[in-house]
Structure 1
Amino acid sequence: MLSVLHHPQLTDCRRLFLRNYEISINIGVHEFEKKGEQRVLINVDLYIPLAVSTPKADQLEEVVDYDFIRSSIAQRIAQGHVHLQETLCDDVAQLMLAHPRVRAVCISTMKPDVYPDCEGVGVEVFQIKNEM
């Protein structure tokens, strides 16, 4: 499988990432899942063109701030219960792509407490912005 880093539309990008961001969220389709929060691990990779993310003055406003990723996830979680991890991934991806400097995003979510015999179950989505 070809690595996302080798995708032709991303060769001029840097990757900004957030790894294993642990949140508690109301997620799931089963009745027992609707009665409380579950742990979810979120991973985010943002692909940002070097032309708009290479600092010249070593200042935060010259790059995409990690706080943007965390606050966008918090914004989505504040909207309430999510039935599917696919929905959560898609929603977070759209929030990330709304940033004018982000060209592409890869989002994964994992519920680590679903089955006792595996590390977790999850979903991943990759999207490239149509225009930039």
Structure 2
Amino acid sequence: MTEPLAPSSTCADRTPASGHRPLRRVFVRDLELMASVGVYELEKRYEQRLIISADLMVLDDYDGQSDNLGAVLDYSSVVSGIRSIVESGHTNLLETLAERIATRCLADPRVVRVVVRLEKPDIVPGCRTVGIEIVRDRA
């Protein structure tokens, strides 16, 4: 959670009293895509449903007034980046796919942290879903 602004702050001056830059959370939850992912022969032969979530912590330089999409991180660009990676071909490991998604998200200099969650809902009988989650920070 971000700290409150100092009492004399305005929307144009968005540095909290602590001196830390404020952050904004941008997220994509439960994006369902068909993906070629897995190490088993059946997984290599047939695409399967993959549920993808990404939670990004973004430096918040938005002035609160411009109402211009270019002033913020557009979540549709996050979705299109994820889609592009997933649709680029077969990947053996969910971990590899998650790393590629995290790297793409962190390519935007405003993103300081990303949590990527990948779930396979149809792969293990009796399980609603199995998967992985990674957390990556800007170096």
The residue type equivalent to 2:36 in the other structure is: N
* Match 1:38 to one of 25, 48, 60: 48
Runs of 4+ in 1 over 3 A off after TM superposition: none
* Map 1:19-38 → 2, pairs under 5 A: 19-38=29-48
Alignment RMSD (CA, Å): 1.8
TM-score, normalization by structure 2 = 0.81
Q: Report the Cα distance in structure 2 between the residues aligned to 1:92 and 1:26, rounded to whole angstroms.
A: 15
Q: Structure 1 vs Structure 2: percent identity of aligned residues?
A: 36
The residue type equivalent to 2:106 in the other structure is: L
Is 1:74 aligned with 2:96? no
Counterpart of 2:11? none
Where 2:111 maps in the other structure, the secondary structure is: coil
Higher helix residue share: 1
> Cα–Cα, structure 1 residues 128 and 81, in superposed 2: closer, same or farther, change >3 Å?
same
* Match 2:122 to one of 104, 113, 129: 113
- State the shift of 1:54 in Å: 4.6
Q: Where in structure 2 are there 5+ consecutive unaligned residues?
A: 3-19
Instruction: Check whether the contact 1:53–1:64 (CA below 8 A) recurs between aligned residues.
Output: no
Q: Where in structure 1 are there 5+ consecutive unaligned residues?
A: none
> Cα–Cα, structure 1 residues 78 and 118, in superposed 2: closer, same or farther, change >3 Å?
closer
TM-score, normalization by structure 1 = 0.85
Counterpart of 2:72? 63
How many residue pairs end up in the alignment?
122
- State the shift of 1:14 in Å: 1.4
Q: Report the Cα distance in structure 1 between the residues aligned to 2:63 and 2:46, rounded to whole angstroms.
A: 43
